[in-house]
Amino acid sequence: MKKFTGPAERSARPVPAGTRSAPVPPTRIRPTSGRPPERSLTMYFAHAPKLVLTGSSDLLRPLGDRAAVLGAEVVVVDADPGLPVGDVDGFDVAVVGVGGVAEAARDLGRATEVLAPGLRRGALLIVSSPAGLRSLESEGRAFAACLAERSGLDLGDEFSVVAKEGDAITWHTGEEGAEVARYLVSRIAAVPTV
C-alpha cells in the first residue's frame, strides 16, 4: 500500500477552525514496473491528501493534528463554518464525527451540505462514532445515498463510505474503501499524540 509522503518531522500545530494546514508539494507516482499502476484509492495518498473533518466528535481535532504530522492538508469545518466551498473542493478523505445517536441526523445532514459540492471521484468518507453506540448503519447508508444523489457519482464505484465505530470498521460501501480506511486509521493512530 502507498503511504503518506511529506515531511514526517514537520512540527504539528493546532489547526484553527475553517483554516488549512500548510500544503506539502505533491509527489508524482511513478510505476516501478513496465505496467501502469493499478487503479486504487490508495494512490490518492501518495501526495499530500486533503482531509476534511466535520461533525460533533471531540476526537476530530486530535485526529487532524496527527494527520497534519503525516503531511495531510487538513480542513476543519465546525458547525457554522461560513467556509467557502472551494476549501473542501476535491477532498481525498472526509471524516464525519458523530458524537452520539441523538446527534447523528444533525451531523450527517450538515456533512451532506458541506461535502456534496466538493465530492469528487475517488473520495473516501468515514463516518466515525464512539464504540458502544447502537449501530448508525441505517443513518450512514442514507447519508451515502444522499451524497450519491447530490453529486451524481456512483456510490461504491466512484466514491466510498465507510463506518468506523470505536476502532472497528463495521460496514462499508466497497471493500477497497474499507481497506484504505483500515490503513489510514492504523497509520494515523501510530502517530504520537501531539
pLDDT, residue 59, reads 75
Quote the strand ranges of 102-173, DSSP E.
Answer: 123-129, 159-165, 168-172
100-142 residue pLDDT tens: 899 899 999 999 999 999 999 999 999 999 988 889 999 999 9
pLDDT, residue 121, reads 94
Most distant CA atoms of the chain, gap in Å: 53
51-81 residue pLDDT tens: 999 988 777 888 888 998 888 888 888 655 5
Q: Which residue has the higher pLDDT, 73 or 193?
A: 73
37-58 residue pLDDT tens: 333 444 444 567 899 999 887 7
**For the residues of 40-99, what is the DSSP string, one character each?**
-GGGGGSS--EEEEEES-TTHHHHHHHHHHTT-EEEEE-SS----GGGTTT-SEEEEE--
pLDDT, residue 46, reads 52
29-38 residue pLDDT tens: 233 333 333 3
6-32 residue pLDDT tens: 333 333 334 444 444 433 333 222 333
pLDDT, residue 96, reads 95
The residue ranges of every structural domain in the chain are: 41-189
Interhelix angle for 137-151 vs 101-115, to 10°? 10
**Contact (Cβ atoms closer than 8 angstroms) between residue 94 and residue 55:** no
> Given 3.40.50.970, 3.20.20.140, 3.40.50.720, 3.30.70.260, which CATH number is that of 41-189?
3.40.50.720
Tell whether the model's pLDDT for residue 82 goes beyond 70: no
Strand order in the sheet with 93-97: 73-77, 50-55, 93-97, 123-129, 159-165, 168-172
Nearest to 111 by CA among 134, 131, 129: 129
Sorted by sequence, the CB contacts under 8 Å of residue 89 that are 6+ apart come out as: 117, 118, 120
